[in-house]
Amino acid sequence: MAEASLAGTAEKPSRPAAGQAGTVAPNPVGTASEAEEEARWRPVLGLPCDLAVDLPLPGFTIADLLKLRTGSVINAHWRLGRDVPLRLNGKLIGWSEFEVVGNSLAVRLTELA
């Protein structure tokens, strides 16, 4: 999957090869500064966090919410090809797009904030 450094830049990640969706490859440690950076983050790497894909639903009402049942389809009025916000613990970290992988819906990181 796309590689991104936690202290990195806001450049767009490269596209993963087919079959790699759902995994994140660690950055290879090639220099002393990269090794130091990895060691600095090691104590917090296992901490849980909430990753959310925000799909705005303009005009969605409480009445619409009460009608939801298993199998309901909601028209998001979201233009195809438009990236959706990706948030980590409520903070915008980038944008993503939806992708079908087998029988699952996946999210591909397209740009870091």
Q: Name the CATH superfamily, with its identifier, for domain 49-112.
A: SpoA-like (2.30.330.10)
The Cβ-side half-sphere exposure at 22, using a 13 Å CA radius, reads 9
Mean pLDDT, residues 75-92: 85
Of 39 and 1, the one with more pLDDT: 39
Question: Cα dist. 94→59, 101, 113 in Å?
Answer: 25, 21, 4
Q: Where are the alpha helices (DSSP H) in the chain?
A: 32-41, 62-67
Task: Report pLDDT for 16.
Answer: 42
pLDDT digits 0-9 by tens, 46-75:
999 999 988 878 888 999 999 999 999 888
Task: Report pLDDT for 30.
Answer: 55
The structural domains of the chain, with segments of one domain joined by +, span 49-112
Average pLDDT, the chain: 76
